[in-house]
Structure 1
């Protein structure tokens, strides 16, 4: 596993833990992670890697979930978290992370609805950073099979 992947996994674990505990993904975590990813791409591969991997991946991650935010179906921190993950993995793997996160999000939604039903109340949202972390972990694991 590369250093970029290890750092990414640490960051998405932290984001998921924060979302579970406080229902927030801290901007400082996402911004620091994205700047770190871009700096590492620059250092490891120069301007070409920065543009082709870092910025392209961040753009794909941002653009994929931005419509969901605009429609009120997702929080801004989740959109920024996927953009940060994309800045680490590049555009093609960012698509994979988004797809796997959506699949994990479906499972998470069912779990949240069942928990709300057991409590006799209504669901009050879900910590989608957990789904993004699961999608990221799955994508990194698939890259190494």
Structure 2
């Protein structure tokens, strides 16, 4: 079996396991992510073009981390979600990681709207969204103000959004 098939199979297992644990306990275990990093780097080391492949993988990890880190900084998501997206980027490379991040943000937005609809916490959600967006629009000293404590609308299993998007992209890759 080619290396790319092993990588896709490993990515499939990773995102499914991450989504299940995120749904069950609202955490993405670091052990999953560490095993995935070892698998990717190990598979690339047995590949003949390992230097270019490892560089591409690390570039994807950097892109995933960089695009999700701002949401963690403003307390819009958990650190496990950022680490999961960096790990997914390790499998996909930079270009596909950008696409995955954008689609995941869309899927996460839909999930958030559904959660807010079912919990009927519209006013808390408005306060949260406002406190996330206003600091980004301010210029000068007020832009550095710390994020105030705000009422939680509930934790969202963002690992599920990452998994759904990744699985959709993998399906497109193998079914078309």
* TM-score (normalised: structure 2): 0.75
The reply to whether residue 137 of structure 1 matches residue 137 of structure 2 is no
Return the index of the structure with the highest Cα Rg: 2
Secondary structure (helix, strand or coil) at the match of 1:2 reads: helix
Counterpart in the other structure of 2:5: 2
The reply to whether residue 75 of structure 1 matches residue 63 of structure 2 is no
- 1:79 and 1:33 map into 2 onto residues whose CA distance is 15
- Equivalent in 97, 105, 110 of residue 107 of structure 1: 110
- 2:77 and 2:31 map into 1 onto residues whose CA distance is 19
Task: Give the length in aligned residue pairs.
Answer: 142
- 1:26 and 1:67 map into 2 onto residues whose CA distance is 21
CA deviation after TM superposition for structure 1 residue 91, in Å: 0.9
- Equivalent in 92, 108, 128 of residue 89 of structure 1: 92
Bigger helix share = 1
Q: For the Cα contact (< 8 Å) 1:38–1:55, is it kept in 2?
A: no
* TM-score (normalised: structure 1): 0.90
Counterpart in the other structure of 2:45: 42
CA deviation after TM superposition for structure 1 residue 6, in Å: 1.3
- 2:95 and 2:81 map into 1 onto residues whose CA distance is 19
Residues 42-98 of structure 1, C-alpha deviations (whole Å, 9 max, x = no match): 22231121112x111111111110111111111000000000001011111111111
- 1:134 and 1:15 map into 2 onto residues whose CA distance is 11
- 2:43 and 2:15 map into 1 onto residues whose CA distance is 17
Unaligned runs of 5+ in 1: none
Counterpart in the other structure of 1:126: 156
CA deviation after TM superposition for structure 1 residue 138, in Å: 1.6
Residues 5-56 of structure 1, C-alpha deviations (whole Å, 9 max, x = no match): 111011101001001000000011112112211221222231121112x111
